[in-house]
Amino acid sequence: MRITCPLCGERDRREFYYQGAAVALTRPEPEAGEAAWDDYIHNRENPCGVTRDLWHHEMGCGAWLVVMRNTATHEVLEVELATDAKRTGA
Amino acid sequence: MRFSGLRVLREGLSGNKGWQAQWRDAEPGDAYDVVIIGGGGHGLSTAYYLAREHGITNVAVLEKGYLGGGNVGRNTTIVRANYFLPGNSEFYSHSLKLWEGLEADLNYNVMHSQRGQIGLFHSDAQRDAAIRRGNAIRNQGDDAELLDVPQLKKILPYLDYEQARFPIHGGILQRRAGTARHDAVAWGYARGASDRGVDLIQNCEVTGIDIEGGRVTGVQTSRGAIRAKKVAVIVAGRSSQVAAMAGMRLPIESHVLQAFVTEGLKPVVDHVVSFGMGHFYISQSDKGGLVFGGDLDMYASYAARGNLPLVEHVMEAGMALMPMIGKAKVLRSWGGIMDMTPDGSPIIDHSGIGGLYLNCGWCYGGFKAVPGSGFSMAHLVATDRHHGPAARFRLDRFRTGRGLMDEEGTGSQHSLH
C-alpha cells in the first residue's frame, strides 16, 4: 500500500502512522453529552469498503492527511490535507 | 458414531469405508428458539453448550460460507491462560479448564497439546513485569514459572541469548499452555452440536435482523426468512456489519493480522515461544511447519491479507530471536480479520434490544477463548444473566469507563491495541 501525500508525492506506507477513522474532524461540542462523546470516542462505522481515515505523515512532512481508501482491497482512492478537509467541512 | 482406538483399528483393516459425515448439513427451518449468526469457533461452541448445558436444541447456526472458514481456520492455534487483569484472568482460566476436558467431552481429537508457552523478557524492567504477571496468574490458580537463562538454555538452546540489542534475561513458562488443531475444534463442536439436534446451515448469509417493539423476532437470510425468539451475533470481524442490521454501532474496528508457516521440518521448536521485544510468537505444527505471527498491520482492513512491511517486520523479529529460522523457507502467509475493541478485551453482553445478544471484540486472541466464550455465551442466551467468568465483558464499559480491561496499559482507544 502506497499513499500519495499532497505535499511529498507517492510514498511507502511505512512513512505514515495510522490514526484511525477520520472522526476527529467532526468532534462533538464539549457539552454534547455522554452519548455523543461515547459514540465519538468508541463507536465506529467500520465499513467493509470505502472508508476515510486519518494518517500522520510522521516520517515525511509531518502533515495530517485524510485518506479515502477501500478496506477490502487496500486501494487508496483520494488523499487530502486534514486542514483542507476541515476547512471544506467534509 | 463414537470414536475409539478399536474403531480406528477396525476401519483401518476394512478400508476406512465405515466413516460417516460428522454432522448434518441442514436446510433452514421456519423458526427456532435460538438463531446463532456465525458458524465459526465461537458460534459452534455456543450452539454446543446451549444444547449440552441448557437443553436448548431448537437452534440454528447460520454461516454465510462454510463452517469454520473464518478466523478459527486462520489463526496460530495457541491456547493459554496467562492474562493479568481481573475479568480476563478468570475467563481464560475457565476456558483453559474446558480445553483440558474438551477431547473427552466431545469424543473428538482436537490435538490439544500442552507443550508449554514461554514468554521471554529482555530487561530488568520486563523481568519485574513478568514476575508481577506470573503472580497474578498464580493467584488465579493457574500455573506460571520464572525461568532464568541457564534453565531456558536447556529447553530453548536455539535462541540468540547474547545479542547486543535484545539479550534474553529469562522467561515465564506456563506448562499448561500449548496448541490445538484449530479446524478440529470447529469440527468437534459442530459434530457435538449437530448430534444434539442443532441445525448447522451453511451458505446462508444473514441480510437483515427483524425487530418489533424493541424485541428481535427473526432474521432475513439469503435462503429466506427465519423466525427466532433469540438471536446471537457471533461474527468476529464482521460484527459491525451485522450489528448495523439491528441499527447498532459497535466499539469495534476490524484489522488484519497476518500469520506464516514454513515448509515442514523435523521437530525443533518444542514449545510456544513469544519474543518480548517485538511482536513475534512461534510454535511447530504436528506436520512440522513453523507457525508464527506478529502484530496487526495497524490499519482498518477486511482484506484477509496484509502488506509487505509487516511481513518484513515479523521476519526481522524472528531472525533477532532465533537466527536459525533464516534457513527455513516460508510456505505461505495469510491474514485474519480481527474485531478490535478500544481496550483490547472482548464483549459478551446483551445488545440493548430484547432477545439480541452480542459476542465480539476478541481482537487477536479469540482462538484460546473458543470453549469459554461458547460456554459463557450459552449461559447468557439461555438465562439472560451474565456467566461468572465472563461477567465483566460488558458493552457499556466504554461509555461509563468502569471495568475497562486494557492488558497492555496503553489506553482505551482505537488504534492502540
pLDDT in tens, chain B (417 residues): 899 999 999 999 999 999 999 999 999 999 999 999 999 999 999 999 999 999 999 999 999 999 999 999 999 999 999 999 999 999 999 999 999 999 999 999 999 999 999 999 999 999 999 999 999 999 999 999 999 999 999 999 999 999 889 999 999 999 999 999 999 999 999 999 999 999 999 999 999 999 999 999 999 999 999 999 999 999 999 999 999 999 999 999 999 999 999 999 999 999 999 999 888 999 999 999 999 999 999 999 999 888 999 999 999 999 999 999 999 999 999 999 999 999 999 999 999 999 999 999 999 999 999 999 999 999 999 999 999 999 999 999 999 999 999 998 888 888 777
- Cell numbers for B281: 510468537
Residue B357 near residue B249, CB atoms below 8 Å: no
Residue B232 near residue B357, CB atoms below 8 Å: yes
DSSP B287-323: TSEEEEEEEEEEEE--SSS--HHHHHHHHHHHHHH-G
What is the pLDDT at residue A24? Answer: 87
Q: What are phi and psi of B162, to 5 degrees?
A: -95, 5
- Of B246, B254, B225, B272, nearest to B79 by C-alpha is B272
What is the pLDDT at residue B132? Answer: 97
- Prediction ipTM score: 0.95
Beta pairing, strands B78-79 & A76-81: unpaired
Residue B106 near residue B189, CB atoms below 8 Å: yes
B241 Cα distance to chain centroid: 20
The C-alpha angle B83, B84, B88, rounded to 5 degrees, equals 60
DSSP B364-400: T--STTHHHHHHHHHHHHHHSS--GGGTT--TTHHHH
Instruction: Give CA–CA dist B201/B28, Å, rounded.
Output: 6
The residue assigned the cell 482505537 is B414
What is the pLDDT at residue A90? Answer: 54
Domain boundary assignment for chain A: 2-87
CB contact set of B157 (below 8 Å; sequence gap of 6+): none
Residue B196 near residue B188, CB atoms below 8 Å: no
How much is the pTM? 0.97
Residue A55 near residue A3, CB atoms below 8 Å: yes
Residues of A in contact with B398 (CB under 8 A): 38, 41-42
Using the Cβ of B123 and the Cβ atoms of chain A, whether some distance falls under 8 Å is answered with no
Residues of B in contact with A46 (CB under 8 A): 240-241, 250, 252-254, 300
Instruction: Give CA–CA dist B301/A11, Å, rounded.
Output: 19
Instruction: Give CA–CA dist B88/B352, Å, rounded.
Output: 23
Domain A2-87, architecture per CATH = 2-Layer Sandwich (3.30)
Nearest to A73 among B249, B303, B398 (CB): B303
Nearest to A38 among B252, B307, B399 (CB): B399
Amino acid identity at B222: S
CB contact set of B374 (below 8 Å; sequence gap of 6+): B41, B42, B43, B44, B45, B46, B47, B48, B49, B189
CB pairs under 8 A between A and B: 68
Q: Cβ contact (<8 Å) for A46 and B251?
A: no
Residues of A in contact with B302 (CB under 8 A): 48, 71-72
Nearest to A42 among B251, B298, B302 (CB): B251
Beta pairing, strands B224-233 & B356-360: parallel
**By three-state DSSP, how is residue B231 classified?**
strand
Domains of chain B, with CATH numbers?
A: 5-11+22-78+182-251+343-400 (3.50.50.60), 114-177+253-340 (3.30.9.10)
Q: Cβ contact (<8 Å) for B300 and A53?
A: yes
Beta bridge partners of A54: A20, A66
Return the residue of B nearest to A21 by Cα.
B300
> Please, what's the b/e burial string for B239-262 (b: 16 or more CB within 10 A of its CB; e: otherwise)?
bbbbbebbebebbbbbbbbbbbbb
Beta pairing, strands B253-264 & B330-340: antiparallel
Instruction: Give CA–CA dist A75/B214, Å, rounded.
Output: 39
What is the pLDDT at residue A87? Answer: 87
Nearest to B415 among A12, A18, A73 (CB): A18
Beta bridge partners of B173: B118, B145
Return the residue of B nearest to A20 by Cα.
B415
Range list of β-strands (E), chain A: 2-5, 9-12, 17-21, 50-56, 64-70, 76-81
Instruction: Give CA–CA dist B90/B96, Å, rounded.
Output: 10
Q: Cβ contact (<8 Å) for A71 and B342?
A: no
Using the Cβ of B195 and the Cβ atoms of chain A, whether some distance falls under 8 Å is answered with no
Using the Cβ of A47 and the Cβ atoms of chain B, whether some distance falls under 8 Å is answered with yes
